[in-house]
Structure 1
Amino acid sequence: MRAGKVPGMAVLIMRAGDTLLSRGYGYADVESKRKVMTSSVFRIGSITKQFTAAAVLQLVEAGKLRLTDSLHLYVPTLRGPARNATIHQLLSHTSGIPSYTELPAFRAKARSPILPTEMLRMIDTAALRFAHGEQWAYNNSGYYLLGLVIERAAGVSYAAYVQRAILLPNGLRQTGYCGSPEGVAETVVGYDVEEGAVSRTGDFSMANPFAAGALCSSAQELGGWLRTLMGGHVITAGSLQRMLTPVSLPGGRRTAYGYGLEVTELGGRERIGHGGSIPGFDAYAAFYPESSFTVIVLTNNGSANAEAIEKTFARQLLGIASLSIRELPLPKGTLAMYVGSYRAGPGRVVVTQRGERLHVAGPVDADLAYIGDHTFVLVDEPDVKLAFRVEVDSATSIAWTSRGRTLTLPRVP
């Protein structure tokens, strides 16, 4: 349980159709001491995106939309530059539309329900980060908009379509839109853990993540879902191949992202998966096609770093040695230049000094090891790298690299 950092966790490990481990750890509700089971229903955050992508591809197969269609055909109220992005660009994070979770207008009211009309206004009035199709940047706006595209093309709500066309036909009855009439009731409470103190995460409206991150599920059902999806039982073989093909950028540059799924590697083994982090919860679901292993980790703490836990299990299963760290010494007093708060989307990453090491809290909660040139790695997950930009003996930003992509986190007062 990562030294008490995670109140509760569900883990499922499968090989083909055989369950190797199905276990709950800790508490679904700390106050009542109700324990986690692999049937416990967690918020899964951005793991939602693969369900949204599959729904879009089903509608493409049915002739109700095309990947080359422009967004304005389905969301005609848009007047800004976002309107000309294609469905393909929304699915692959190449639209250039800024993620609404990074917009100041959203951050000011992130935990309160925001009406679709207001969310669209935020997105519509924001300048593009880059021209459509020119670059790649992870983007919650794209998948929020895809939810509206699904509603227009299918003629029913996003929650109803996903339940009717994706979930129920595949026997998924513990999966659905969190708390909606067409969805499921979550059974796990989300928590914040700071310096060992556990407290319930404050209210967070699931209307806001919508098709980008509003589904709930259990470890049992996510394991079954990945096996069903990868087996070609949800969309056609051609659509699945499209979903699993990392998008290429101009000049032949490759990304690690297809549609709603990342295609990376662990110790030279292909790894298909996605994480999900939402206030009070962190999750990761991965499939290893060469060995048919599925690893699901769901936690009820937003900074639990479920992906690092998943990788630990996967390395043991696949016989992959853990990455070694060649930690370098730093002159006494040097760590102070890195200490501070850095903006990460709607939240913050906080870097503090603990003894002779730095500690980071925010999307993850971990100690850092210094490897040289103002660069650190997570002690528990050394393939996650934090490179600090330093000016006049003080860090001004962090280049955070994980799973082949780098995000810039500016320092804030």
Structure 2
Amino acid sequence: MKKILFFVLAFSSFTFAQDKFTRIDSLLNYLNENNKFMGSLTIREGENVVFNKAYGFADVEKNIKADRLTRYKIGSISKTFTAVMVMQLIEEKKLTLQTKLARFYPKMANAEKISIYDLLHHRTGIVDFVNQDSTFHKVIDQKHSKEAILKVITAYKSNFEPGSKYEYSNSNYFILGCIIETLTKKSYAENLQNRIVKKAGLGTIEEKTEMTDKGAVTNKVFIPTTYYKEEATNTENKESFSYYFDGENWAKSYENHNSIAFSSGGLTSTPADLTKFIYALFDGKLVKPTSLDQMKEIKEGYGMALIQFPFGERRFYGHGGRIENFSSMLGYYPTEKLSFSLISNGDNYVQNDIIIGILSIYYKMPFPFPKFMKMDKAELAKFTGTYASKDIPLKITIAEKNGELSAQATGQGAFPLTFKEETTFVFAAAGIEMVFGENSFILNQGGMKYNFTKE
């Protein structure tokens, strides 16, 4: 449920002989065939879907291939849905941006100072119960009541004075989901269906036949394909598991209990639905233009569950998400009414780089396909060994097998390292980059750098 920000552009010359959509398809097929990616991409121009295709499997064990109707967990893109519902409640005069948290949860630290505006913009100082509280990592597969999680959040001391700075916290949007339920006296899932899914048409129309006194009657039924539920993944219902590549095969990731993610990251959807949702949002179907303008107000890199990211001279609005080993990105360029969504349920390559490739090809800019090759064992041998760091109490062992490197930290399982360039290797699933030097490497993860030296 962590947010993802991008882009850095790097191009080299290439002659475009193929149709851009054929070439995008070729790129994703190429990544899939090299065990770098499984997932789905949708590109929408205004109301029209111009590209919609899935790659790989929804269920590797049962050999169920993904298709354009496969549903994936979307992680923190869920926050954008939550923010829209909060803005709708503000339009209905049930809430204001200045309403204080004390109205709902007076016992939380600084509740009398924290506003709905602060919650939406991650400016509260409330500890992130998912990523900063290690106790939840041990029980993340177990059901938790909202009351139990709110009790944990209430027990935290504030990280900083409300409104003074930005700090991403899933707790903020968990609380907003609870406030939505309190004000409407309806479940978050029901609000989602009535306020967004039905209005934006996020679903499919299927024919259902029922037997009546007059015989068989066939009716057309709307089946939502974006929803929140707490039940485990069911691939028979077009839902997908997530996977990581263990160096030889796609291995299933552990499944979190969705009661923890809730309104901060618990939605299931499709890339097609996500592009339709953000088009509807910017087209005025979900909130008023003034509300959208407020959502687009960026403070320290974050709006109301909207970020802005560049691609050349273009500025996209959207959000990213990560949960289990699902990784998702949604973007919208208002000038062209262009939206895209990429959801990975298996990544062994940096998703940001995949999106750069997709958009480069779409805009007919030069983009060479990455090269995946096994390096010479003698060349890799200089990287192998055990490394220690003064920055963190952790040792990492680098090993070589069949022309590829793997890394294993103390007390943890081994993970594959993918060659990126020169002396740089990555493990995309965890956002890890290792840059090797002479008997050393720098580990980059989450904006932090750690120096390691070979023992």
For residues 28-83 of structure 1, give each alpha carbon's deviation from its aligned partner in whole angstroms, at most 9, with x where no partner exists: 1212322211211111111101000000000000000111111121234x343356
Could you say which residue in structure 1 is the equivalent of 2:316?
A: 271
Pair 1:286 & 2:294 matched: no
How many Å separate the matches in 1 of 2:360 and 2:151?
45
1:194 deviates by 1.7
Q: Tell me which amino acid in the other structure corresponds to 1:226.
A: I
Distance 1:290 1:50, change over 3 A: same
Q: Tell me which amino acid in the other structure corresponds to 1:176.
A: Y
Contact 1:71 1:82 in 2 (8 A): yes
Pair 1:156 & 2:208 matched: no
Aligned with 2:339: secondary structure?
Answer: strand
Give the TM-score normalised by structure 2: 0.71
How many Å separate the matches in 1 of 2:331 and 2:95?
29
Q: Tell me which amino acid in the other structure corresponds to 2:44.
A: M
Aligned with 1:209: secondary structure?
Answer: helix
How many Å separate the matches in 1 of 2:427 and 2:365?
17
For residues 288-311 of structure 1, give each alpha carbon's deviation from its aligned partner in whole angstroms, at most 9, with x where no partner exists: 223322111112126664443223
Contact 2:432 2:443 in 1 (8 A): no
How many Å separate the matches in 1 of 2:432 and 2:251?
29
Could you say which residue in structure 2 is the equivalent of 1:252?
A: none
Could you say which residue in structure 1 is the equivalent of 2:163?
A: 133
Q: Tell me which amino acid in the other structure corresponds to 2:127.
A: P
Aligned with 2:256: secondary structure?
Answer: coil
Aligned with 1:246: secondary structure?
Answer: coil
Distance 1:230 1:385, change over 3 A: farther
Aligned with 2:278: secondary structure?
Answer: helix
How many Å separate the matches in 2 of 1:139 and 1:190?
23
Could you say which residue in structure 2 is the equivalent of 1:400?
A: 446
Q: Which has the larger radius of gyration?
A: 2
Give the gaps of 5 or more residues in structure 2. Answer: 1-28, 203-223, 371-380
Contact 1:261 1:273 in 2 (8 A): yes
Could you say which residue in structure 1 is the equivalent of 2:247?
A: 195
Contact 2:386 2:397 in 1 (8 A): no
Q: Tell me which amino acid in the other structure corresponds to 1:152.
A: T
Could you say which residue in structure 1 is the equivalent of 2:307?
A: 262
1:410 deviates by 11
How many Å separate the matches in 2 of 1:7 and 1:92?
32
Aligned with 2:120: secondary structure?
Answer: helix
Could you say which residue in structure 2 is the equivalent of 1:87?
A: 116
For residues 328-368 of structure 1, give each alpha carbon's deviation from its aligned partner in whole angstroms, at most 9, with x where no partner exists: xxxx968868778x99xxxx9x8957689897999997545
1:15 deviates by 1.7
Pair 1:243 & 2:295 matched: yes
1:207 deviates by 0.6
Greater length-normalized contact order (CA 8 Å, ≥ 6 residues apart): 2
Contact 1:7 1:191 in 2 (8 A): no
Could you say which residue in structure 1 is the equivalent of 2:283?
A: 231
Distance 1:410 1:215, change over 3 A: farther
How many Å separate the matches in 1 of 2:189 and 2:37?
29
Give the gaps of 5 or more residues in structure 1. Answer: 248-254, 326-331, 402-406
Aligned with 1:81: secondary structure?
Answer: coil
For residues 195-216 of structure 1, give each alpha carbon's deviation from its aligned partner in whole angstroms, at most 9, with x where no partner exists: 1322222232011000000111
Pair 1:216 & 2:261 matched: no
1:370 deviates by 7.2
Pair 1:298 & 2:326 matched: no
Pair 1:100 & 2:140 matched: no
* Structure-to-structure mapping, 1:112-131, within 5 angstroms: 112-131=142-161
* Structure-to-structure mapping, 1:49-88, within 5 angstroms: 49-76=79-106, 78-81=107-110, 84-88=113-117
How many Å separate the matches in 1 of 2:259 and 2:59?
23
Q: Tell me which amino acid in the other structure corresponds to 1:230.
A: F
Could you say which residue in structure 1 is the equivalent of 2:221?
A: none
Contact 1:94 1:133 in 2 (8 A): yes
How many Å separate the matches in 1 of 2:43 and 2:117?
32
1:22 deviates by 1.2
1:153 deviates by 1.6
Contact 1:296 1:310 in 2 (8 A): no
1:223 deviates by 1.7
Contact 2:247 2:415 in 1 (8 A): no
1:320 deviates by 4.5
1:179 deviates by 4.9
Q: Tell me which amino acid in the other structure corresponds to 2:225.
A: Q
Could you say which residue in structure 1 is the equivalent of 2:197?
A: 167
1:277 deviates by 0.8
Q: Tell me which amino acid in the other structure corresponds to 2:126.
A: I
Pair 1:37 & 2:70 matched: no
Q: Tell me which amino acid in the other structure corresponds to 1:225.
A: F
How many Å separate the matches in 2 of 1:362 and 1:386?
15
Distance 1:385 1:197, change over 3 A: closer
1:189 deviates by 2.0
Aligned with 1:148: secondary structure?
Answer: helix
Contact 2:405 2:417 in 1 (8 A): no
For residues 195-254 of structure 1, give each alpha carbon's deviation from its aligned partner in whole angstroms, at most 9, with x where no partner exists: 13222222320110000001111122112111111111110000011111102xxxxxxx
1:156 deviates by 1.1
Distance 1:73 1:166, change over 3 A: same
Pair 1:178 & 2:223 matched: no
How many Å separate the matches in 2 of 1:386 and 1:300?
20
Distance 1:236 1:386, change over 3 A: same
Aligned with 2:105: secondary structure?
Answer: coil
Distance 1:363 1:243, change over 3 A: farther
How many Å separate the matches in 1 of 2:61 and 2:443?
39
How many Å separate the matches in 1 of 2:183 and 2:414?
38
Give me the identity figure in percent. Answer: 23
Q: Tell me which amino acid in the other structure corresponds to 2:63.
A: K
1:147 deviates by 0.5
Moved more, 291-300 or 50-59: 291-300
